[in-house]
Structure 1
């Protein structure tokens, strides 16, 4: 056994009871009171205050109005249901909040400046924070620091940040004290073992999160309580705990050495906190709060520890979709941890996602992140990397359809599906005398669109800082307190904007077909090809067939692979050419989430012979039609991509036939992928037959979980288009 691996543990009877009771509660979440309570306080009691104080006191007051839950069998305290029906707002409250609506403000400003096609909108969240500071200092210690910062503040903006954080952390202490009071009352009415349990929990909660944590139980309770509070302030999918194994292991190690806790006792606490995450987010599978385990230091030394094993072992046994648990592997990872990761890929109900530190860390560093900070990367939701507690919360912001932009470059900005002018371009395919001229035009258009995207997200950042200050979050993000600025106002160390470029491999296949058929072989003229695209190949089957014979990315063809390499590099270069308002980067994050059907449906016919609406590939994965020569051939194409400047990282999807895959094959597949330079591996092992039956008889497959794209979900809860896309994916069997 490795020196890292803990002894074998299991789900206890208490945990199995807790799972059953949790699932019953989760099926009927209470109404969400947050928005109504906030609106009433903001427009009523605190209406005359300055905006920052008004915002903070209204949010603090609404937290204190939340119900206090004491649950049977629990060893951790606190519950805030993140999803569920919201109590409707009275019309006068809706009207009163309208001038302070951050989404309305940013969308209005973007509409005034940016063309519809390039308008990014904005998605908030997808970050972690330095919650270990609460464990080390306690809230009282943090409040002392904030008080010192407030005393020395040099301007109103800094004072608003420190004052807002003080107001809200004091409210968190009051909210925690309400739980202590409830525990004391319950203990007074109880007897025997139940009374001792409640008295012990009251004692834990009297200490933390007020004081520094001393034991593993206290550390986990402090972590959990602050997570509820920060998520109450920042109720956005993708925000998550991050590197729990790294931040909690010192407490567990100390307790184990002192004999304060057993491995089985630690497993029970980990099981319970994971179950609580699922109860908070039940049936909202796309929300995604991610735990990232494993990894390595900047010098390559492994950071895998025994808690890494414990968390992965626990999630394998739990039949739930939250939290997402993702693994970072490196060449220094212990062999038995690699084996456990292999087991997770096989037996984890299609929930595993694995990162290669050797591929990801240099790419993250290429985006201006120091090696030390890059080594602290976590997944902000589906896969979105950031150095934990150092990034602002536009870490993932929007999508971009790369294949659609190529279509518009070919047509002079005209949408093939509707015939409408989407963007103003004065040339079509017929106007480019050489393939290199077409490439240059495509690269120039991507650069233009990404500059507009960045401007649009700058607008979003400005409005977020103005109308949605995040005081709790900012107090735990470097370097907000030192700079005296909220995390969207220049406080965060890395003010980056992430976006998902979709259809990269589809664009590459279309470009390569044009290069071969139009510019090299001359088998079709530019005008004839354009005419065929406009007609969706109606009455053009001979031409379409000819184009489909051009090799695709994924078939280990040097020309096709070189074209995909060029498209990816061009996306990265175009993104790198712009800077955010605080000198951060626009980060390409290549993943598909739930967007595959929609992004595919937006496409007209493509030059590779694809009809309108043909399905794009997942992330950096070849399209389905290109993977018929086997997984090794398809991976060889992926290995030829240059991901060294893909600073937001790129995923792949490898679904395998359950009748073929074995632990030995899965381990070999994973390690081969990483040795070849692959970044992120995920996939499904569920048979197509089971998926088809689940689509037809959903009531019989309520618990079937599938890998969608950066997250996992109950299959029967997905929309029909997404279900069919998953069913149609290529299943590798050799």
Structure 2
């Protein structure tokens, strides 16, 4: 049975309560956007990498130094604790004008009522003026001026209204920041710069500009840390004796860290925060991960405990405080318009609630624990255990958490990990080292580096601190790949029946194919075409950043950049990757199975009859729909025939996508994940599996929930047949366990056995939630009583009460599995 200490110190309880209070009084971060706008206005002709460096230095030098009375760790990326961040240079200026140029009444109803994310009148006016400045100068404008016409004129409204965003989705080298420091990086950059000045060539002239920019960023970070030291000393002048001593100790540490390696656990954590603030200010805080933090913080923690500098209780308090504060970087995504905000406020919801349905509030930040050292031995220590226990104790949904599993994983880590996931809504996710390390080897990563992967975003593995990963969002210009849209073209003669818009490859309608093999061949032709189209898009998206929007906050620490003299956007990282995610796997597989069985194998339903039923959204065809739902064998039940179809098209996608040339001479990396199956279903016409127009699609790689008939082992066997060894970008399987089945003495052992069985079959990642239907129904009625109820959505967990009603209902409808 679980027997973990869940006692939390009074100070941590106070910080958690403060965090929850602040959630009802959030502010939009205007400070960052003022600083970048003022700098860019004054330096319009400066070379992009120098301009970015100059802005980051100005931000470090002039931003507000915010120190709260009860802080254990210092600061935030904005002027207030839990400021909501957005980046004006990657924001649609039409969105800014629509929100802040609205009538006074509607603006105030959206942004100036209790529970809103507050924007005052002065900031409103400034935002409108800033929108005028950034019009034609933002990332989207850069893309529009660079992309070929096929992406801006012929690809539909998504690409015609490019807004763009920094690539994000990567593992910054927090380890180098903590264990080496910005001072050593600065010194190396100076030496590299001196060499170039002696021997300037066409090949290294741009590197001179890069090193000048890097030095400026290092100077800014060192200055910011010392400004915090000064702020601590000033705050100490009026503090109580105990707080005064603590602030003076913090000041001494802030004079040392950032420039130099951290000497103890507090300094290690604080360095992570200072570096995180820089990344957020640079606009790249989108699904980043600090990597294997227990690996490089563990020695600091153990030394503090062994020398008596910290007791176990004090060390646990620091881990708890770190976890609370790391989730304070709130990114505004999606950006709702005033109509949606006003409606939310009328229904007792806040913008904070609106963020929870598509990601965690901290924008996909994820911590990875455990794993292997470069020599293949296990990498678990006291920090692994304490950070896991922090999640267990605090029950927070962000940052997300990944636990690496291998033959060295200690029994106690297994026990805490499973107990934590049961208690904390699917945190951690469990990652199969054997499969993931092999995917790294297959894309050319040496074994020593492959063993040091960490997970970022939702499920995406990458080499920690060494890989620049323009993962699934393709810098805001691409996205995941719902093959159901391609299948719709194949069925409806190259027309999306929801929109009435044509695709790019003319083809037959369902009733015109003479065999299932002909339909499969057309589907394959379309899949290959759209992969090639997307791969071409990715190269142009990468060029947008290479030319105009460097990412120095990543480059300053990412291995390869300092050594090569190249920004990450120029290909400077040791490894480069581009990811894309499959979604709605079961909807596609079950639809193909329906067509194959009824129309071509059994020939009991004509293709025209099925086509007409789809066109009518099943109106007048309910008997056929019920027959499909009850007679067609669907994916998820360890049935070889439907599972083979899923194997076929997922192998097709993975093989072709992974074979395409990657950006910056890197690799393309396929995965399987979906965050939007409820929203996506609303955008998708009826499908042959019996699904009606507007109903949810199947989530990620999971079976359609009402199709699961044969229990958990059959469920995971079907999913394990997918080519996970080719899914370099990861992939989610999400099970909802029946609460009663995981309460017994042997529950932990049974869950562990199921995970290990799935991994032995080749599964890559395992996510589960224990969620009682009665409790979720109660949370719908009285959300204020269930604020810490967390459920696993896809590659992230979210507070149930923050989910839109449709997402709540979809989650409640998930198949409950007993173990």
TM range (shorter): over 0.9
Give 1:95's aligned residue.
132
State the Cα deviation string for residues 314-373 of structure 1 (Å, max 9, x = none).
111113222212211112211121111111121224433111112322234333333333
**In 1: Cα distance, 2:602 partner to 2:375 partner:** 50
Cα separation, 1, equivalents of 2:136 and 2:496 = 36
Note if contact 2:490-2:507 (Cα within 8 Å) is conserved in structure 1: no
- CA distance in 1 between counterparts of 2:735 and 2:133 reads 50
Q: Output the CA distance in 2 between the equivalents of 1:213 and 1:295.
A: 23
Partner of 2:32: 34
Q: 1:583 to 1:82 in 2, by over 3 A?
A: farther
Distance, in Å, in 2 between the alignment partners of 1:400 and 1:7 is: 42
Please give the alpha-carbon distance, in whole angstroms, between the structure 2 residues aligned to 1:117 and 1:553. 32
| TM-aligned CA deviation for residue 291 of structure 1 | 0.5
SS at match of 1:125: coil
Of 151-160 and 624-633, more deviation after overlay is shown by 151-160
Residue number among 21, 41, 44 corresponding to 1:43 in the alignment? 41
Q: Are 1:26 and 1:279, in contact at CA under 8 Å, matched by a contact in 2? A: no
Q: Distance in 2 between matches of 1:310 and 1:484?
A: 38
Match of 1:596 in 2: 677
State the match for 1:628 in structure 2: 709
Alpha carbons of structure 1 residues 136 and 442: separation in structure 2 relative to 1, 3 Å: same
**Any conservation in 2 of the 1:125–1:236 contact (CA below 8 Å)?**
yes
The answer to whether residue 533 in structure 2 is matched with residue 496 in structure 1 is no
Q: 1:137 to 1:702 in 2, by over 3 A?
A: closer
1:566 aligns with 2:648: yes
Q: Following the alignment from structure 1 to structure 2, what is the Cα–Cα distance between the partners of residues 491 and 166?
A: 16
Distance 2:571 2:421 in 1: 40
Residues 1:53 and 2:50 are matched in the alignment: yes
**Partner secondary structure for residue 555 of structure 1:** coil
2:368 counterpart (270, 292, 300): 292
Instruction: Give 1:269-418 correspondences, 5 Å limit.
Output: 269-281=318-330, 283=352, 285-286=360-361, 287-297=363-373, 300-397=376-473, 398-418=479-499
* CA shift digits 1:536-563 (9 cap, x unpaired): 2332334333433110011221111111
Does the 8 A contact of 2:466 with 2:573 survive in 1? Answer: yes
Distance (whole Å) between structure 2 residues aligned to residue 525 and residue 54 of structure 1: 64
Compared with structure 1, are the counterparts of its residues 117 and 597 closer, same or farther at alpha carbon in structure 2 (3 Å cutoff)? farther
Q: Give the drift of 1:623.
A: 0.7
Q: Is contact 1:346–1:666 with CA below 8 Å preserved after alignment?
A: no
Q: 2:307 aligns with which of 245, 258, 276?
A: 258
Structure 1 CA distance for aligned equivalents of residues 658 and 209 of structure 2 = 34
TM-score with structure 2 setting the length: 0.84
Q: Using a 3 Å threshold, how does the CA distance of structure 1 residues 82 and 126 change in structure 2: closer, same or farther?
A: farther
- Mapped contact 1:147–1:162 kept (Cα < 8 A): yes
- Partner SS for 1:587: strand
Deviates more, 1:88-97 or 1:511-520: 88-97
- State the Cα deviation string for residues 632-680 of structure 1 (Å, max 9, x = none): 2212212322321111121111011112223333333323322332221
Provide the rounded CA distance (Å) in 1 between the counterparts of 2:801 and 2:580: 28
Is it true that 1:72 corresponds to 2:109 in the alignment? no
On the 8 A contact 2:73/2:321 being kept in 1, the answer is yes
Residue 125, structure 1, aligned to residue 141, structure 2? no
Q: 1:168 to 1:29 in 2, by over 3 A?
A: farther
Displacement after TM superposition at 1:145 (Å): 0.8
C-alpha distance in 2, partners of 1:258/1:703?
Answer: 37
* Maintained 8 Å contact 1:359/1:678: yes
Other-structure match for 2:780: 695
Partner residue of 1:116? 155
Following superposition, the deviation at residue 733 of structure 1 comes to 2.8
Over 3 Å counting, the alpha-carbon distance change for 1:290 and 1:90 in structure 2 is: closer
Cα displacement (A) at 1:520: 1.9
Give the distance between the partners of 1:73 and 1:699, measured in 2 at CA.
26
Structure 1 equivalent of residue 789 of structure 2:
704
- Matched length: 727
| Residue 610 (structure 2) pairs with residue 529 (structure 1) | yes
Tell me: CA distance 1:667–1:37, structure 2 relative to 1, closer, same or farther (3 Å).
same
Question: In structure 1, which of residues 497, 506, 520 is the aligned counterpart of residue 601 of structure 2?
Answer: 520
**Corresponding residue of 1:3:** none
* 2:770 counterpart (685, 706, 717): 685
Cα offsets for 1:190-230 (capped at 9, x unmatched): 45333222221111111112222222222222222222222
Could you tell me which residue of structure 1 aligns to residue 669 of structure 2?
587
Uncovered stretches (5+) of structure 2, i.e. residues with no partner: 86-116, 332-351, 474-478
Identify which of 502, 523, 532 aligns with 1:442. 523
For the structure 1 residues 90 and 196, does the alpha-carbon distance in structure 2 shift closer, same or farther, using more than 3 Å as the test? closer
How far does the alpha carbon of each residue in 1:358-389 deviate from its partner, in whole angstroms, 9 at most, with x for none?
A: 23222343333333333222221222221112
Structure 1, unpaired ranges of 5+:
1-5
Q: Distance in 1 between matches of 2:145 and 2:597?
A: 44
Q: Is the 8 A contact 1:292 1:327 kept in 2?
A: yes
For residues 199 and 126 of structure 1, the distance between their equivalents in structure 2, rounded to whole angstroms, comes to 37
Give the conservation status (yes or no) of the 8 Å contact 1:364–1:648.
no
Check the 8 A contact 1:10/1:267 in 2, yes or no: no
* Structure 1 residue 150, shift from structure 2 partner: 1.8
- When the two chains are superposed, the root-mean-square deviation of aligned CA atoms in Å is 2.5
Q: Any idea what SS the aligned residue of 1:497 has?
A: strand
The answer to whether the Cα contact below 8 Å between 1:76 and 1:273 also exists between their aligned partners in 2 is yes
Asked if the contact 1:42/1:58 (under 8 Å) is kept, the reply is: yes
TM-score normalised by structure 1 residue count: 0.93
- 8 A Cα contact 2:298 2:381, kept in partner: yes
Q: Conserved in 2, the CA contact under 8 Å of 1:242 and 1:388?
A: yes
More divergent stretch after superposition (692-701 vs 171-180): 692-701
Q: For the residues of structure 1 that align with 2:193 and 2:814, how far apart are their CA atoms? A: 56
The answer to whether the 8 A contact 2:49-2:549 is kept is no
Residues 469 and 579 in structure 2, CA contact (< 8 A), matched pair in contact too: no
Change (3 A) 1:553 1:719: same
